Structures are given as C-alpha cells and as structure tokens.
Chain A
Amino acid sequence: MKIKTKEDYINSLKEQEVVIYYKGDRVTERTTHPAFVPHINSAAKTYELALMPEYEDLLTATSGLTGNKINRFTHIHSSVEDLIKKVQMLRVIAHETASCFQRCVGFDALNALYMTTYEIDEKHGTSYFPRLQDYLRRIQEENFMLVGGMTDPKGDRSKRPSQQADADLFTRVVEKKADGVVIRGAKAHQTGAVNSHEIMIMPTQAMGEGDEAYAIVAAIPLDAKGVTMIFGRQTNEERKFEHGIDAGNCEFGMVGGEALVVFEDVFVPWENVFMCGEADFAGLLVERFATLHRQNYGGCKGGVSDVIIGASALAAQYQGTLNASHIKDKLIEMLHLAETVYAGSVACSAMGSKTKSGAFYPDPLLANCTKHNITRVIYEISRLAHDIGGGIIATLPFEADLRSPEIGKMVEKYMQGVEGVSTETRMKVLRLLENMTGGTALVESMHGAGSPQSQRIMYQRLGKLGEKMKMAQKIAKIDQ
C-alpha cells in the first residue's frame, strides 16, 4: 500500500472493507459516495501537491528515521524550520481546497506520541518509543492516512472516566491478552475518519488513579473487526450531491467530514499499542497533541480566510461596490485578521523547542493563543464577508431556477450585477461565500482542536501571572 498519487490513495481506500453508515444506511463503497468524495478530494491534495515541484518544499520532508524523502504529514519535526514549514504547508493546501484536508490530526498524534512515549519509557521502563518508531517507518514508507482519535463522548462531564454510569463513554481496555488488548468505546468528531486507513486512539483528558484502563493509545486499522463509523451531518451537505453552483465548493468539503467511530471489542496487537495504563502521562500527551493541533489553525484557517477574502472582493467587484471606501476598509480588516492568525501560528513555531526525544514542539502558550483567536476571528471574517456580499448570500435562487426554461431569464436579468459579468458567475462566488462562512464551517473554528475554555485553562497555567505581578511591583516601587 505505498501511496503516492490521488489514484493510489483512492485505490488503497477500496482495499479496506470498512463499516460506515450515512443517514441510517450502510455505505457499500466509500470512494464513490457523494457525501465522502469532496473529503476524499481534499485529503488527496496532500498527496497530489507533494508530487508537484512548486509545492514539494513544503509537502515533503526528509525522514529522520530512514533519510528517505517522505510526505510531511508523516514527518517528525526535527527543527524550528520544520515547525514553520508545517504551518506554511497548511496555508498552501487550504488555498487549493478552501476546506479542511484532514491529515493534520494524525500528523499531530504521531508527533505528540513521539515526544511522550520517549518519556514514558524513560520513567516506566516500557518500550513504546521503539515500537512507535517501527510504526513510523511503516507509515512513512506506505504514506497511509491516519486519524488522530482523541475526543471521547465523555457522558457526564462532571465525572471522571471511571465514575461514569456507562463505563464505555470513555474509550477503554476491556481485556489484556498475551498478544494484545481489546478496546471498547467510541471517538467522536473524527475528522477524515471515513476516508482514512487507520485511527490512532489516545486518551481524551488527564487521567487519575483508577482511570488506568482509559489510558490507552493504539493504532487501529479502520477495517478492523468491531469498528463502525457513523458519518456526521453538515450544513447543506447534500447540495454537494448536485455537483453544481449551489454547493459553493462542490469539489471539496465544507470542513473535514466528521464521524463517530465506535469500537465494539476491537482487538489490537501489542505492536500497535503505545500506552496502556500509564495514566500519569495521559495529561501530558493530551496537552502536547492539543498544542501541536492548535499550532495549525493560523495556517489552515489563514489559508481558508485568504479564499474568503478573495471571494468577498470578487462579490463586491461583480456588484460594483469594490471601490467604495467602506468595502475597501472591510477587506483590509479581513486581511489584517487573516495575517494576524497566521502570525500566531508562525510565532508559536518560531519559538518552538527541542524535547527529550529530539522532536521539536511549538510554544504551547502561543499555540493556544493562536487557536483561541481562531474561535473569534473566523466569525468576524465571516461577518465581514456577509456584510460585503449582502443579503443575497441568504436569498439567492437555486441554480435550477437559473437553468429553468420558464424562469431562467428572470433570474438572469434580476440577479445580474455589473455589465460584463454573467449572473452565473456572480451566483458562483456568492454560493462560495455562503458555503465557507456559515453553519458547520463556523462551529469547526470554535471547537476544532478544543473549545475556547480549554485554551483559557492553558493561559491560566502558562501565563506567568505571578511574574507579571512582580514586574508591576518593581515599576511601582512596591516592596512587599
């Protein structure tokens, strides 16, 4: 299963017999299902661009394990330059898809595990790190797509995993065998799961005494016996089935394409287990994964914002408002916001540091600031896009009306903008704006890589408030 091209990727997905449900029905062929094709196209860009000379500087890297040229999504960051290139890569792919391309979650899981398994072995005398290195050699060679499975359903949020009325609401080990472990539970919101090959499950939060069964990290092929994926509904997703203007961006997804992944007593051999019971490292692993994932958002969302800004400017141009001073000012504000979030991702990468394992890690406080800004800025960019685009974004007729022999001429006539631009062209850009600035796309910016409160907790922990108080005391000449 060595995957290089888009065709290799799609063929490799066909080789797995997975269990997926969409709208209550079992999906027989995932690579051609209209709900999944846009997400497959987005993820495929991570393969396609790696083969293009004008993108390979970002999309490929040299493996620290083998010295081979590999896809960057399977790379362990070996320098600050690698961290920065990751962010640059995300921005450039977003320009091509205007959507999530899903592979960063598995990428971040691999890097978080690389750092953490090294330290687990150091403390507990286990051998997870060399086991992970073997796994890395395989993924770097085969270039398969890995989902980073962190979020458990969590049930009653006020209770710890071991205190839940239903013990399966956090993914857990139900049996240890001589040759592996048996897993039960579920992972929610799994971006890209239905078009991936494997999932790397990880603990969802810090674990305490009594939670050892929940401190499990394991790589599971998505066609393993007992794995069921239930695809999540997105805003207006069935418009993509029409392959037309109304979808806004019919070739690629709105966001990643998320699924609930259920594990019903799934067996995992020991060679694919990278933590089992070391509850004292669950919190560190979660923090590292979250930091690596929050690092991304100024890259991918910055890139997506670039497309929103371009679409807003085109919408203004097509309706004759581009030269109005208030429109120019709004576009400038959007540019400012997009570059601000990008700057956050570059900054946390530039301030990255080397971990004991040798892998590089972004500055966690700056990475959390970056993601926290995303929870606000993308809403503001979208608000400005709606302001510029006008109410027509919400009231535009169907493409079928434009094509109708009876009423098409009316739509053509009354939906037109400036002379020389067709109504169809104007409709295309307005639908793109609608697609990118509402519903699921916004919620993903809020909760993807962790909800805002999880970032604020990190501010409290990492913000050095005491040192700042001392600074103020010194300046104010307070001697207490």
Chain B
Amino acid sequence: MCRRRSCHGQSVDKRLLRYSVKMRKRVALKYCGGCDSGFDRVAHFERIRAAAGDSIEWVVIDDGRLEAVLIISGCATACPERSLEGSLDVPMTSTTSDDEDPVKIVDTLLR
C-alpha cells in the first residue's frame, strides 16, 4: 500500500518502517477545550490517526512513558500550548487548523 503524499510521504514511510520494526511511538493526544473551534477537532484527529496507522500508540497526557505530545487546538490561541509549556520533557507538536496536512503532522511526530 502506497502511503506517499507529495513532499512529506517518503519520510513518513521510512519512519513507519523504522517504528514498525522497533516499536510504536507513544504519543499523547491533548485537545484544547474547544470553546470557539473553527473546525471539527475530533475529525482532524481521526485523519491524523489514520495517517499514522500503526506507527503511533496514542496515549493520555499523564502516561508515564510518553515520547511526544500532539496538541489539537481549535484556534490560534492554542491554550494547551501555554498550559503545558515547560511541564513536559518531550517534544510537542501543535496543530490549530484542519488545513494542515495529517501526513506532515505525523512526520513531525515521528521525528
């Protein structure tokens, strides 16, 4: 099955391969509260999850062994970015629009 998409696909494929051999990356999903969201945050996540396939194991933010965090915010204010800043020792990837390419987001998460 070809997962490639322009610009971002190839690197994702390689990382998927690496993680499938090694182990799935543990990524915590953190939504903002959605007070005035400009898009469907849950649908956006579902597209990201589909793009990630088996390469990511989605965990909660207080998981003791998380390796990265994905923050999905409904607007540019991105409240969780502020509230989580400095509190976690893992990379955080933030998305504030469903225009952002899910494959590119996965690519960033798997780095």
Q: Once the chains are docked, how many angstroms separate the CA of A306 from the CA of B34?
A: 14
Instruction: Check A57 against B36 for contact (C-beta < 8 Å).
Output: no
With an 8 A cutoff between CB atoms, is A286 at the interface? Answer: no
With an 8 A cutoff between CB atoms, is B9 at the interface? Answer: no
Question: A84 to chain B: closest CB distance in Å?
Answer: 8
Beta-carbon contacts under 8 Å, B19-51 to A = 29-36, 41-42
Q: Once the chains are docked, how many angstroms separate the CA of A57 from the CA of B79?
A: 9
**Secondary structure of the B contact surface, majority rule:** mixed
With an 8 A cutoff between CB atoms, is A385 at the interface? Answer: no
With an 8 A cutoff between CB atoms, is A58 at the interface? Answer: yes
Enumerate chain A residues within 8 angstroms of B34, measured Cβ to Cβ: 54-55, 58, 92
With an 8 A cutoff between CB atoms, is A312 at the interface? Answer: no
Beta-carbon contacts under 8 Å, B61-96 to A = 79-80, 82-83
With an 8 A cutoff between CB atoms, is A85 at the interface? Answer: yes
Instruction: Check B36 against A91 for contact (C-beta < 8 Å).
Output: yes
Chain B contributes a number of interface residues (CB within 8 A of A) equal to 15
Most interface-central of A57, A81, A88 (chain B CB within 10 A): A57
Instruction: Check B35 against A54 for contact (C-beta < 8 Å).
Output: no
Beta-carbon contacts under 8 Å, A113-171 to B = none
Question: B38 to chain A: closest CB distance in Å?
Answer: 12
A sample of 12 more A-B contacts (CB under 8 A), given A58-B33, A81-B82, is A53-B29, A54-B31, A56-B33, A57-B33, A57-B79, A58-B34, A85-B79, A88-B33, A88-B36, A89-B33, A91-B36, A92-B34
Q: Once the chains are docked, how many angstroms separate the CA of A90 from the CA of B58?
A: 29
Enumerate chain B residues within 8 angstroms of A285, measured Cβ to Cβ: none
Q: Once the chains are docked, how many angstroms separate the CA of A55 from the CA of B33?
A: 4
Question: B63 to chain A: closest CB distance in Å?
Answer: 13
With an 8 A cutoff between CB atoms, is A59 at the interface? Answer: yes
Question: B84 to chain A: closest CB distance in Å?
Answer: 10
Can you list 13 pairs linking A and B with CB atoms under 8 Å apart?
A55-B34, A56-B33, A57-B32, A57-B79, A57-B83, A58-B35, A59-B33, A81-B82, A87-B35, A88-B33, A88-B35, A88-B79, A342-B36
Most interface-central of B36, B82, B83 (chain A CB within 10 A): B36
Most interface-central of B35, B36, B82 (chain A CB within 10 A): B35
Q: How many A-B residue pairs have CB under 8 A?
A: 41
Residues of B at under 8 Å CB distance from A?
A: 29-36, 41-42, 60, 79-80, 82-83
The residue of chain B having its C-beta at the shortest distance from the C-beta of A303 within the complex is B35
Question: A457 to chain B: closest CB distance in Å?
Answer: 31
Enumerate chain B residues within 8 angstroms of A88, measured Cβ to Cβ: 33, 35-36, 79
Residues of A at under 8 Å CB distance from B?
A: 53-59, 81, 85, 87-89, 91-92, 306, 342
Q: Once the chains are docked, how many angstroms separate the CA of A53 from the CA of B33?
A: 9
Q: Once the chains are docked, how many angstroms separate the CA of A445 from the CA of B83?
A: 33
Q: Once the chains are docked, how many angstroms separate the CA of A59 from the CA of B35?
A: 11
Most interface-central of A54, A85, A92, A306 (chain B CB within 10 A): A54
The residue of chain A having its C-beta at the shortest distance from the C-beta of B41 within the complex is A54
Instruction: Check A92 against B29 for contact (C-beta < 8 Å).
Output: no
Q: Once the chains are docked, how many angstroms separate the CA of A87 from the CA of B29?
A: 23
Q: Once the chains are docked, how many angstroms separate the CA of A56 from the CA of B29?
A: 12
Question: B96 to chain A: closest CB distance in Å?
Answer: 14
Q: Once the chains are docked, how many angstroms separate the CA of A58 from the CA of B60?
A: 16
Enumerate chain B residues within 8 angstroms of A81, measured Cβ to Cβ: 82-83
Q: Once the chains are docked, how many angstroms separate the CA of A57 from the CA of B41?
A: 13
The 6 closest A-B pairs by CB, nearest first: A58-B33, A88-B35, A57-B33, A54-B31, A91-B35, A92-B35
Enumerate chain A residues within 8 angstroms of B31, measured Cβ to Cβ: 53-57
Question: B103 to chain A: closest CB distance in Å?
Answer: 22
Instruction: Check B30 against A57 for contact (C-beta < 8 Å).
Output: yes
Q: Once the chains are docked, how many angstroms separate the CA of A57 from the CA of B32?
A: 6
The residue of chain A having its C-beta at the shortest distance from the C-beta of B73 within the complex is A57
Enumerate chain B residues within 8 angstroms of A54, measured Cβ to Cβ: 31, 34, 41-42
Q: Once the chains are docked, how many angstroms separate the CA of A366 from the CA of B108?
A: 42
Question: B59 to chain A: closest CB distance in Å?
Answer: 11
Enumerate chain A residues within 8 angstroms of B83, measured Cβ to Cβ: 57, 81
Enumerate chain A residues within 8 angstroms of B36, measured Cβ to Cβ: 88, 91, 306, 342
Question: A345 to chain B: closest CB distance in Å?
Answer: 11
Question: B109 to chain A: closest CB distance in Å?
Answer: 17
Enumerate chain A residues within 8 angstroms of B41, measured Cβ to Cβ: 54
Given contacts A57-B30, A57-B79, A57-B80, contact A89 B35 (CB under 8 A): yes
Q: Once the chains are docked, how many angstroms separate the CA of A268 from the CA of B99?
A: 58
Enumerate chain B residues within 8 angstroms of A53, measured Cβ to Cβ: 29, 31, 60
Q: Once the chains are docked, how many angstroms separate the CA of A55 from the CA of B30?
A: 10
Q: Once the chains are docked, how many angstroms separate the CA of A342 from the CA of B35?
A: 11
Question: B73 to chain A: closest CB distance in Å?
Answer: 9
Question: B19 to chain A: closest CB distance in Å?
Answer: 23
Enumerate chain A residues within 8 angstroms of B32, measured Cβ to Cβ: 57
Question: B20 to chain A: closest CB distance in Å?
Answer: 26
Enumerate chain B residues within 8 angstroms of A87, measured Cβ to Cβ: 35
Instruction: Check B29 against A85 for contact (C-beta < 8 Å).
Output: no
